A and B are shown apart, each in its own frame.
Chain A
């Protein structure tokens, strides 16, 4: 596709449910990033993949958060046993090369009730 796509665009979960968020990067982009954006704040880094390798997961807030990119293309961010504080917009970005320009998807707005 022409840009980064994410699905679903909106997700409502009850506290304690597991959720899976999908990111389709721009075709051929080596690097993929996940960010979390709380209301009224700038995005904050969660994790980074170069191809299928997860090189940095230091931003994941707890062990309930897990990300994968098994074939070096599509990525999934999974949140287990969701909590209200997980409510945020989750943004995916991809870049053609490491340290290159990052292009963002439209985000998934997660609301945990």
Chain B
């Protein structure tokens, strides 16, 4: 099945800093989503972005489908941005199931 790798696994920032999270995938995709899992375990949709670039406030994402990667940018980070960020895809032979990466644990310190 399709493989998803996220980097870095852990990231510690000071409030106000910018960061870039990366997601590599092993096959062509029909869907790519970025999620933020908050400390209570809720998966919050950030972007549906199988290709192209989208922006939502301080967050933006770019997916280069031909090169099989996606990037999530967080600018002017806040303590409330802390949590785990997951990239998830479906495509290849995986049907409609989302295959998740292992996540990036982000900690933003005041």
Contacts and interface: CB of A to CB of B under 8 A. Distances in A.
Interface of A: 31, 33, 35, 41-45, 48, 55-56, 59, 89, 91, 93, 98-104, 106-107, 109
5 contacts: A43-B88, A56-B95, A101-B48, A102-B33, A104-B35
A106 B86 contact: no
A106 B97 contact: no
Contact of A59 (B48, B86, B97): B97
Interface residues of B, number: 22
Please provide the 5 A-B residue pairs with the shortest distance between their CB atoms, ordered closest to farther: A42-B100, A45-B97, A104-B43, A101-B48, A106-B42
Secondary structure class of chain A's binding surface, majority of residues: strand
A91 B37 CA distance: 12
